[in-house]
Amino acid sequence: MKLAFSTLGVPGLPVSDVAWLAADHGYHGVELRAHPDEPVHPGIGPAERSEAVALFQERGIEIAGIAGYARVAAPGDDEAVLAEIRALLDLAHDLGAPYIRVFPGGGTDQSREEADATAARRLGTVAEYAGERGVRVLLETHDSHRTGADAIRVLGQVGHGQVGSLWDVMHTWLGGEQPQDTFAALSPHLGYVQVKDIASAEDTTPVPLGAGVLPLGECVEVLSRAGWEGWLCWEYEKRWYEHAQPLPPLLTQGREHLTRLLTEAA
C-alpha cells in the first residue's frame, strides 16, 4: 500500500511546500483539499494547474485524490451538484489524479430511501463523464451515509465502475461497524482509505496516529489479508480543530506507525 496525507492537515499551505513536506517525510502522495481557500481548487486556471503538476512531479509525489465537497444526497436541484462534480472531475483530470471525493450530505427532512435515490441518480448521471475524464468518483463514508452498509445501498443502485467508495475509518467506527464488515461491503468499489486517529468517540479532536481509539491495526490487517493495494491517506483534520497539534512535526511518526502496521499485518 502507498501512503499519503491530506492537505486538510496543513490548510492553505502553498503547493511547493506540500510537495516538499511529502517528499521529505517519506510519503508517496497527497490528497488535495479542493476548496476555494486552498491553493488548488476548480477555480484555478490552466497555468496554475500545470504548475501544480510540475511541482509534484519534481518532488516525485503523486496526487492520490481530490477531496471535493459536493453533497450528492442533499435535497435540491440536481444540476448545481452535477456541475460541481464535473468541475472536480476536470480538475482531477488536469492534475492527473485518479479520484475525486464527494460527500453524501443527505438532509434530515429526507427519508433514507429518498437520500439513497438522490445520490444514486446524481452519481449515475456523472459516471459516463467521469469515464471520459479517466477519473473515478468516490462516495465517502460520512454524515448521512457513514458506514459501508449505508454507502453500498447507493453504490448498488449506481452499478458503474467509475463510481466507487472512499472508506473513512473514523465514520464507520463511529457508526458501530467493524472493519471486516466495512471492507466486505465496500471492497468491490473501494478507491482508497482515509486513516486518522481521535481522542474518543465523544471528542474527535485529531491526535497522532496510534495515540487514539480508532482500530487502525484492524483496518490495515483486513486490507492486507485481502491483498488490497491502494492508498492509505492520513486525514488530519487540523482545519476544524484550531488547538490540535500542527501536522508537519507528526508526519514522520505517522508514516512510521503506518509502516509498522503494514509490516505486522504482512
The residue extents of the domains of the chain are: 2-256
Q: How much is the pLDDT for 116?
A: 98
State residue 65 phi and psi, 5-degree precision. Answer: -175, 165
Q: Mean pLDDT over residues 221-225, rounded?
A: 97
Decide if pLDDT at 108 tops 90. no
Kindly report the average pLDDT of the chain as a whole number.
97
CA distance 38 to 208: 23
- The per-residue pLDDT for 266 is 85
Is the model's pTM score more than 0.85? yes
> How, if at all, do strands 2-6 and 190-195 pair?
unpaired
User: What is the CATH architecture of 2-256?
Assistant: Alpha-Beta Barrel (3.20)
Q: What is the mean pLDDT of residues 132-136?
A: 98
- Side chain identity, residue 92: A
Spatial distance between the Cα atoms of 31 and 247, rounded to a whole number of angstroms: 14
Neighbours of 248 (CB within 10 A): 16
Q: What is the pLDDT of residue 123?
A: 98
How many other C-beta atoms lie within 10 A of the C-beta of residue 91?
24
Residue pair 10/27 in contact (Cβ under 8 Å)? The answer is no
pLDDT of residue 47: 98
Instruction: Flag whether pLDDT at 78 surpasses 90.
Output: yes
Do 207 and 237 contact (CB within 8 A), yes or no?
A: no
Q: Say what the pLDDT of residue 91 is.
A: 98
Q: What is the mean pLDDT of residues 58-81?
A: 97
Long-range contacts of 238-246 (CB under 8 A, 24+ apart): 238/8, 238/9, 238/10, 238/11, 238/206, 239/8, 239/9, 239/11, 239/33, 241/205, 241/206, 243/205, 244/205, 244/206, 244/207, 245/207, 245/208
Sign of the CA dihedral running 186, 103, 20, 260 = negative
In the predicted structure, residue 107 carries a pLDDT above the cut 90: no
Higher confidence at residue 98 or residue 242?
98
Cell of 210: 496510534
Instruction: Supply the pLDDT for residue 144.
Output: 96
Please determine, for residue 242, whether its predicted confidence score (pLDDT) is greater than 90: no
C-alpha cell at 142: 460520512
pLDDT class for 151, splitting at 50, 70, 90? very high
Pure H helices in the chain: 15-24, 46-59, 78-95, 112-133, 148-158, 169-174, 179-186, 216-225, 251-265
Per-residue confidence (pLDDT) for residue 241, from 0 to 100: 93
C-alpha to C-alpha distances, 60 to 57, 89, 125, nearest whole angstrom: 5, 23, 35
